[in-house]
Structure 1
Amino acid sequence: MSNLALVPEPGCTEPGAEPPIEPPVTSLTRRELIVLDNLAEDVTLEAIASKLWVSRNTVKSQVRSVYRKIGVGTRADAVAWANAAGLR
């Protein structure tokens, strides 16, 4: 048996515990953070686009980029991630 299996991950409190999730907030652009913040509101992508003075397709691209960077696939998951990361 290897001793490596007994060494906890950095930041873990006990052996075998999952390492804490560190949100990739710094990898999100300023605009992606703004779009992510707007996703929490009960508005359409069209409304977000209008508010930010860009096209709906631009917002769609930014939303896809946010989802990819934070590892989620739905708007609800993105909002939950933002809440957990302390962005909301």
Structure 2
Amino acid sequence: MTMLDTSATMQTMGAHSLTRRERVVLGELAEDVTLEEIATRLFVTRNTVKSQVRSVYRKIGVSTRAEAVAWAESHGIR
């Protein structure tokens, strides 16, 4: 399996492996808000949101917020 195949597999499996909270955070990323504002909305710290965002990115195989939002929209999370 090549690196590209691994990435494609992760993106396909990503939607199923996200926790409920990670799905909420991913949905919030689509809004024009900062991580601090997301944290306030979710009653957690900014560091918690940063950790959850990193976990989401890893699980769905992306590295930017724009890619994560595009992925979420294409998988019906939003």
Q: Normalising by structure 2, report the TM-score.
A: 0.82
- Once the 2 structures are TM-superposed, how far is the Cα of residue 24 of structure 1 from its aligned partner? 2.0
Provide, for residues 26-85 of structure 1, a one-character-per-residue CA deviation record: whole Å limited to 9, x for no partner: 100000000000000000000000000000000000000000000000000000000111
Number of aligned pairs? 68
Equivalent residue number for residue 63 of structure 1: 53
Identity over the aligned pairs, expressed in percent? 69
Amino acid of the residue matched to residue 52 of structure 2? Q
- Normalized per residue, the structure richer in helix is 2
Match of 1:79 in 2: 69
What is the one-letter code of the residue matched to 1:61? S
Computing the radius of gyration over CA atoms, which structure comes out larger, 1 or 2?
Answer: 1
Residue type of the alignment partner of 2:24: I
Relative contact order, higher structure (CA 8 A, sep 6+):
2
- Do the aligned residues in 2 keep the contact of 1:23 with 1:85 (CA within 8 Å)? no
Structure 1 residue aligned with 2:31: 41
Consecutive aligned runs of 4 or more in structure 1 exceeding 3 Å deviation: none
Q: Where in structure 2 are there 5+ consecutive unaligned residues?
A: 1-10
How far apart, in 2, do the equivalents of 1:36 and 1:84 lie? 13
Q: Structure 1 residue 23: deviation in Å?
A: 4.7
Query: Hey, what does 1:24 align to over in structure 2?
Result: 14
Point out where structure 1 has 5 or more consecutive residues left out of the alignment.
1-20
Cα RMSD for the two superposed structures: 1.2
TM-score between the two structures when normalised by the length of structure 1? 0.73
